[in-house]
Amino acid sequence: MRKKILSLITAIVMIALIVVPVNASIIDDGYNGFATRLYTVVLGRTPDPVGLEYWGGRLRNRQISFADCARGFLFSQEYLSRNVSDAEYVTTLYRTFLDREPESTGLSYWTGRLASGSVNRNTVIEGFSNSVEFGELCRRYSNNSSGSNGITVCIDPGHSGVVAPGYVPLGPGSSDMKLADTSGTRGRYSGVSEYVLTMQIANLLRTELEARGYNVIMTRYDNNTPVDCVTRAQTGNNGADIMVRLHFDGLDNASVSGAHSIVIAPNNPWNPQTYAGSARLGRCIIDSYCSATGIRNRGVSEQNNMTGNNWSTIPCVLLEMGFMTNEHDDLYMTNPANQPSMVNGIANGIDAYFAS
């Protein structure tokens, strides 16, 4: 009888641990808290000290992202050996990435796609790890970690689904006028619009930077808001330390590939005082980005014809992450599996800039 009671108590405790998320506020360190949560939600057990130190340390030292840490548990032999059903697997993804139980429609949708073969268990994770809900979950845990480093980064996701109309001055007080914004390019092979991809990368980058202790502001938070290039720059000018503008290239010549960063030239007539910082930021980001992704490094371009750069009173770089008209670049950049490498490359470049 005693054994039955003990077994029942153990079962109840394990069910409670799986269903009820661990509150990061009761963990001394948010990174350990996030790892503890994965032990509970994915593996259904309390963490062993060695394992907790390993995963918490890798997060703390920025060797992996929160999403990569979650994948480590979901792809572990301990979890895979359970041979769970598709429904159980999707339920675990909801608990892991969204911090909640699945709704019936969502569960049916994902199990249906798994059954049809349109996605597999490796790729279905990307839809969850790129969600806004998971971004908020990461911020909750990162806010309980080392705290803010006091640095604010402005992220500018290039273009928008609704293009800002009219013209704006090329620089403050300039008589030269340029389009307020453009629609951007489009993936020749993926069919993805540039503004959609810049928003995806911006959201991932925001999550990663906040996890590293940065404060982040963005020039737009959706694809339905038109924002002209002057307003974008002024958003960064209003309290940010640096501005990173995310874009993708496009040409008729499909053989051209690679990434490059664009900064103002030394003789910029409007804000030449930002040149040194912008040039260093541009070099740090492009080198780190290309190192992380393997995309061809086309270096740093110095130009005075970019409105958003010219209006910026803080170090500013426009990062062209690759050519959406090149098959390799386009299919690499639009693949969700590669986007964490893209984001980590940019974030590492920002780290290098402030460390130098």
C-alpha distances in angstroms, 77 versus 43, 57, 72, 80, 182? Answer: 10, 21, 10, 5, 49
Residue 287 falls within a domain, yes or no? yes
Q: Are residues 188 and 326 in the same domain?
A: yes
Q: What is the pLDDT of residue 19?
A: 40
| Structural domain ending residue among the three candidates 107, 142, 177 | 142
Q: Is 257 exposed, middle or buried (0-12, 13-18, 19+ CB in 10 A)?
A: buried
Residues 184-193: what's their mean pLDDT? Answer: 98
CATH number of the domain that 211 lies in?
3.40.630.40
Q: What is the DSSP string of 59-85?
A: HHTTSS-HHHHHHHHHTSHHHHTT---
**DSSP character for 38?**
H
- Looking at the structure, tell me whether residues 110 and 177 fall in a common domain: no
Within 13 Å, how many C-alpha atoms sit on residue 350's CB side? 31
Q: Write down the mean pLDDT value for the chain.
A: 89
Q: Which residue has the higher pLDDT, 17 or 173?
A: 173
Q: Are residues 108 and 165 in the same domain?
A: no
Which range of residues forms the domain containing residue 343? 152-355
Whether 310 and 209 map to the same domain: the answer is yes
Number of domains in the chain: 2
Residue range 43-98, pLDDT digits in tens: 999 999 999 999 988 887 767 778 889 999 999 999 999 999 999 999 999 999 99
Distance of CA 203 to the CA centre of its chain: 5
**Residue 328 pLDDT level (bands cut at 50, 70, 90):** very high
Over residues 111-160, the pLDDT tens digits come to: 999 999 988 998 888 778 767 678 778 767 765 555 567 889 999 999 99
Whether the per-residue pLDDT at 292 is higher than 70: the answer is yes
Does 122 share its domain with 179?
Answer: no
In angstroms, the CA 241 to CA 278 distance is: 11
pTM metric for this prediction: 0.63
Residues 138 and 158 in one domain: no
Q: Does residue 333 share a domain with residue 241?
A: yes
Residues 137 and 158 in one domain: no
We report the CATH number of the domain holding residue 118 as 1.10.3130.20
The verdict on residue 147 lying in a domain is no
pLDDT at residue 17 above 60?
Answer: no
- Is the pLDDT at 299 greater than 90? The verdict is yes
Q: What is the model's pLDDT at position 13?
A: 40
- Give the pLDDT confidence score for residue 18 in this predicted structure: 38
135 with 160, same domain: the answer is: no
- One-letter amino acid of 322: G
